[in-house]
Amino acid sequence: MTTKRIAEILRQGNPDDRLTIQGWVQTKRELKAFSFMEVNDGSCLANLQVVLDQEMADYDRVLKSLSTGASVEVEGVLVASPAKGQRVELKAETVVVYGEADENYPLQKKRHSFEFLRTIAHWRSRTNTLGAVFRVRNACAAAVHEFFQQRGFLWMHTPIITGNDCEGAGELLAVTSLDLKNVPHTKEQTVDYSQDFFGKPAYLTVSGQLEAEVMAMAFGNVYTFGPTFRAENSNTSRHLAEFWMIEPEMAFCDLEGNMDLAEQFLQFVFKSVLEKCPEDMEFFNQRIDNTVLATADNIINNQFERVTYTEAIALLEKAPDKFEFPVEWGLDLQSEHERYLAEKLFKKPVIVTDYPIEIKAFYMRVGDDGKTVRAMDVLAPNIGEIIGGSQREERLDILENRMRSHGINPEELWWYLDLRRFGTVPHAGFGLGFERLVQFMTGMGNIRDVIPFPRAPLSLDF
Amino acid sequence: MTTKRIAEILRQGNPDDRLTIQGWVQTKRELKAFSFMEVNDGSCLANLQVVLDQEMADYDRVLKSLSTGASVEVEGVLVASPAKGQRVELKAETVVVYGEADENYPLQKKRHSFEFLRTIAHWRSRTNTLGAVFRVRNACAAAVHEFFQQRGFLWMHTPIITGNDCEGAGELLAVTSLDLKNVPHTKEQTVDYSQDFFGKPAYLTVSGQLEAEVMAMAFGNVYTFGPTFRAENSNTSRHLAEFWMIEPEMAFCDLEGNMDLAEQFLQFVFKSVLEKCPEDMEFFNQRIDNTVLATADNIINNQFERVTYTEAIALLEKAPDKFEFPVEWGLDLQSEHERYLAEKLFKKPVIVTDYPIEIKAFYMRVGDDGKTVRAMDVLAPNIGEIIGGSQREERLDILENRMRSHGINPEELWWYLDLRRFGTVPHAGFGLGFERLVQFMTGMGNIRDVIPFPRAPLSLDF
């Protein structure tokens, strides 16, 4: 007897197929001569309807134990379904109940708020919405690897624990093996890190970019896809303390090549998810945010507009809209400005490049004008900023000066500077937060609902 | 002018192809009328030979700057190569030197020890061996995803920061936002964790298994592939403080299904790496460990032997070999015992199952005899243990008792127990360390040489 996943049965099953399914009871309806139950096995949003005939052996006993949440194995034969919206249903011959679920099972039929579901994160994946979210999350993650592997990029695991504190100052989580009850001190009354596991202060990484640059300088094209951390004390719907980042880095590449890659990347990933999870995406469009399919479509089918920051400022100054925040060369673009450009003006994704040097990171390549850096932000309608990247500064002297003006001691990043001392090359890359991507794709309002076990201030359950 | 990767040129390039390459100079030989240089771009082990004709514009100046480590872009035409071992070489027409490298470039021609190379981890990927390692690492990682995605397993990101300290007691690294110089204390003179980022003690995860079980209970088949941590204070060639783990978990699965998956998994991954990196694997076999190809072959082409621990003990008792450690029912198998079984007795991979309950973890399913648990270890010739797994205990009362006898408070893992309270199912899974896998695959002696930036006691560079 073949065991089949419900997704496959609903797609390809035919009347008279004999098979077994395994899953959890969603609902049960008892009628006179027979009963129905809906079974879900997580392979898709839809349940398979199972018909239980009174003639079945042990009917009464079995039926009693088939409450919502019970785990079952059903053997039977597919029959054409008279019910609307389903091609086939399973006529049960034998039902094995592995585990019953009594009335304390938290996911009874009524609707639950996402907030409540976070308190039962070990159950919420069985709900329609969270189930769809994590299937889409997987499809999206698989598409990321597929995209880069097809193009010869190597997946590189950059370190999670780092001694570099230069990038995320103030937002770092420390890693230690010291006894916090009794931290050893030196004679000078500073922490005696010589007794710590790494012999010096250690932190959780905020980005793998600098190490990805190292690897790109040997392999050409690489990407990271790993967890990163921020100790931001902000309990918002868009921040996590622990999230996954994707950071491609390309040697012998300038900002043009970087923009091309970002555009191809987003189009590939959105397209791939639509192909692999059409039912889940349709569900999000109907139940969560009715713009998600249009947004995906817009990203997939448009050539991204490319404007410089300076051009963007001019366009914003001419805008008929009233903005809350000032529009002025030298100030960063606010969300309202980005939305105007992508949603109202161009009505498609926009890549804004060449931002003022003062508002961007030290590693971005200084433009020929000396006033801008070769940065890029990808903005999408209904989403806002989704990708940030830049061509990197490959010139040793300029990079050293930029580090100093950012208060970074060049000696601490001697190895990063070494890449510019010997055989330096133009190179570029970008980064995007994976959970943000999944959030945008699904329309989910709170980022805590697109990662299985969210970590945030005072939030460390499961 | 098409820019091509050297791997592609060596595989598919034909004389008269006009193209551009980008990479780093490995060596240069100056002759009278012309010179040669070898260029590597990280796409493969082999270099492309470039011929520089004296007639070339700017010959002298260009030649001078082409020292080892310099970054170049060469435009030219492929010609059939008279040299042995290469089909084509590139006749340069123009050479752009992006970055020179003087005599201080650390990778001059002479050989370096792996130990020295660890001190210049930002350069070592340009050496033959480490370059090959990281290409194989990528191919292996990609194969892992391919294997599971093809079979409908969802990649699940289990948390990196955890509040559960029950699994890795004593080997945990703590995560904190407290000021270590001045840790706040409560009135009772304990650490005041209410002021810490998560409001309670936080650690780096040692395994995603428990959370993977949660996800398997909704989606059926899932896997993790993420970083895990051990604060083991052992500076060995087989331990890292930070390493990546792969942990599949399957609902409605017993130990048989688990063994099937482990066998298919190893065979798939080894086969895939041999297909994608034949040149690199050949290199390891010639230069690092002349058993790696035979081992891969052995894993791919044999049905794994399956014996119980009890059978294994009987076989070891009958062995003609003298063992250093005692062979006795109840004691764990030592490396010498495992090697005897896999290398001498069966001469192929062996799965040992049903270990004594006393020597295994609390979550493993208790066997019908009450004396063993449904654990499995996969042992391979020349490698030893490569995979460990088990069917999980799905019976609430037995699991609670097992936790108590392991000194674990069941209330701390209430959510894990909940999975057994409502709709429990038989399920199983296994885990393997990704770096160990790459180490075995490549024959590299030290695990620090198969991860880009290794973390170990007192080791936190880059």
- Domain with residue A403: its CATH number is 3.30.930.10
pLDDT at A339 > cutoff 70: yes
Nearest Cα residue to A365 out of A253, A266, A263: A253
Task: Report the first-to-last Cα separation within chain A, whole angstroms.
Answer: 37
| pLDDT recorded at residue A169 | 57
pTM of the model: 0.97
- The answer to whether residues A86 and A141 belong to one domain is no
- The distance of Cα B35 from the centroid of its chain, to the nearest Å, equals 41
The answer to whether the Cβ–Cβ distance between A122 and B419 falls below 8 Å is yes
Q: Which chain B residues have a beta carbon less than 8 Å from that of A219? A: 42-43, 125, 131, 134-135
- The answer to whether residues A131 and A266 belong to one domain is yes
Is residue B166 very low, low, confident or very high in pLDDT (cuts 50, 70, 90)?
low
pLDDT at B190 > cutoff 80: yes
pLDDT tens, residue by residue, A445-461:
999 999 999 999 999 99
Establish if A439 belongs to a structural domain.
yes
Average pLDDT of the residues in A338-354:
97
Establish if A135 belongs to a structural domain.
yes
Percent of chain B surpassing pLDDT 90: 91
The answer to whether the Cβ–Cβ distance between A180 and B174 falls below 8 Å is yes
| pLDDT recorded at residue B84 | 82
Judged by phi (left if over 0) then psi (alpha if -120 to 50, else beta), residue A85 lies in: left
Establish if B178 belongs to a structural domain.
no
Size of interface A-B (CB pairs under 8 A): 315
β-bridge partners, B251? B427
pLDDT tens, residue by residue, B308-318:
999 999 999 99
The answer to whether the Cβ–Cβ distance between B242 and A159 falls below 8 Å is yes
Cα–Cα dist B291/B288, whole Å: 9
Q: Which chain B residues have a beta carbon less than 8 Å from that of A233? A: 197
CB of B41 within 8 Å of a chain A CB? The answer is yes
Average pLDDT of the residues in A111-120:
95
Chain A, window 403-442: residues with a beta carbon less than 8 angstroms from a chain B beta carbon: 415-416, 418-426
CATH code where residue A69 lies? 2.40.50.140
The yes/no answer to whether this complex scores an ipTM above 0.85 is: yes
Average pLDDT of the residues in B275-291:
98
Average pLDDT, chain A: 95
- The answer to whether residues A10 and A60 belong to one domain is yes
Angle between helices A278-287 and A434-442 (to 10 degrees): 70
| pLDDT recorded at residue B170 | 63
Establish if A291 belongs to a structural domain.
yes
Q: Measure in Å the smallest separation between the Cα of B128 and chain A Cα atoms.
A: 11
- The answer to whether residues B337 and B373 belong to one domain is yes
Strand, helix or coil for residue B253: coil
Establish if B418 belongs to a structural domain.
yes
pLDDT at A239 > cutoff 60: yes
- The answer to whether residues A422 and A355 belong to one domain is yes
Chain B, window 86-105: residues with a beta carbon less than 8 angstroms from a chain A beta carbon: 98-102, 104-105
Q: Measure in Å the smallest separation between the Cα of B345 and chain A Cα atoms.
A: 36
Checking A399-402 for CB contacts under 8 A at 24+ apart, the result is A399/A362, A399/A363, A402/A362, A402/A363, A402/A366
Q: Which chain B residues have a beta carbon less than 8 Å from that of A257? A: none
- The answer to whether residues A374 and A263 belong to one domain is yes
pLDDT at B212 > cutoff 90: yes
The answer to whether the Cβ–Cβ distance between B462 and A174 falls below 8 Å is no
Strand order of the β-sheet with B384-391 is B154-155, B221-229, B242-251, B427-433, B384-391, B372-380, B350-356, B305-308
Establish if B349 belongs to a structural domain.
yes
Helices (runs of H) and strands (runs of E) counted in chain B: 13, 16
pLDDT at B168 > cutoff 60: no
Q: Which chain A residues have a beta carbon less than 8 Å from that of B162? A: 460
| pLDDT recorded at residue A168 | 54
* Residue B346: how many other CB atoms lie within 10 Å: 17
Average pLDDT of the residues in B23-31:
94
pLDDT at B167 > cutoff 80: no
- The answer to whether residues B79 and B131 belong to one domain is no
Q: Measure in Å the smallest separation between the Cα of B346 and chain A Cα atoms.
A: 32
| pLDDT recorded at residue B208 | 96
* Sign of the alpha-carbon torsion through B439, B444, B446, B449: negative
CB of A151 within 8 Å of a chain B CB? The answer is no
**Last residue in a domain, options B81, B99, B117:** B99
CB of B190 within 8 Å of a chain A CB? The answer is yes
- The answer to whether residues B271 and B314 belong to one domain is yes
Q: Which chain B residues have a beta carbon less than 8 Å from that of A120? A: 415
Q: Measure in Å the smallest separation between the Cα of B206 and chain A Cα atoms.
A: 14
Judged by phi (left if over 0) then psi (alpha if -120 to 50, else beta), residue B442 lies in: alpha
The answer to whether the Cβ–Cβ distance between B98 and A229 falls below 8 Å is no
- The answer to whether residues A19 and A55 belong to one domain is yes
pLDDT tens, residue by residue, A248-280:
999 999 999 999 999 999 999 999 999 999 999
Establish if A185 belongs to a structural domain.
no
- The answer to whether residues B400 and B280 belong to one domain is yes
The answer to whether the Cβ–Cβ distance between B156 and A142 falls below 8 Å is no
β-bridge partners, A88? A80
**Last residue in a domain, options B99, B117, B139:** B99
| pLDDT recorded at residue B236 | 87
Burial of B65 (0-12, 13-18, 19+ CB in 10 A): middle
CB of B218 within 8 Å of a chain A CB? The answer is yes
| pLDDT recorded at residue A83 | 81
pLDDT at B185 > cutoff 60: yes
- The answer to whether residues A279 and A346 belong to one domain is yes
Cα–Cα dist B340/B323, whole Å: 9
pLDDT tens, residue by residue, A274-300:
999 999 999 999 999 999 999 999 999
Q: Which chain B residues have a beta carbon less than 8 Å from that of A152? A: 5, 7, 43
Average pLDDT of the residues in B35-43:
97
Interface test with B, best of A175, A209, A229, A417 (most B CBs within 10 A): A175
The answer to whether the Cβ–Cβ distance between B424 and A99 falls below 8 Å is yes
Establish if A290 belongs to a structural domain.
yes
pLDDT at A170 > cutoff 80: no
Average pLDDT of the residues in A331-352:
97
The answer to whether the Cβ–Cβ distance between B163 and A25 falls below 8 Å is no
pLDDT tens, residue by residue, A380-398:
998 889 999 999 999 999 9
**Last residue in a domain, options B64, B84, B99:** B99
Average pLDDT of the residues in A366-388:
96
| pLDDT recorded at residue A297 | 97
Q: Which chain A residues have a beta carbon less than 8 Å from that of B199? A: 457-458, 460
> Which amino acid is it at B217?
M
> Looking at the 3D structure of chain A, how many domains does it have?
2
Closest in A41, A161, A453 to B211, CB measured: A453
- The answer to whether residues B413 and B307 belong to one domain is yes
Average pLDDT, chain B: 95
Q: Measure in Å the smallest separation between the Cα of A382 and chain B Cα atoms.
A: 26
Across A33-37, A56-60, A206-210, B90-94, least confident range: A56-60
Write out the residue range of the structural domain in which residue A142 sits. Answer: 126-154+220-227+244-449
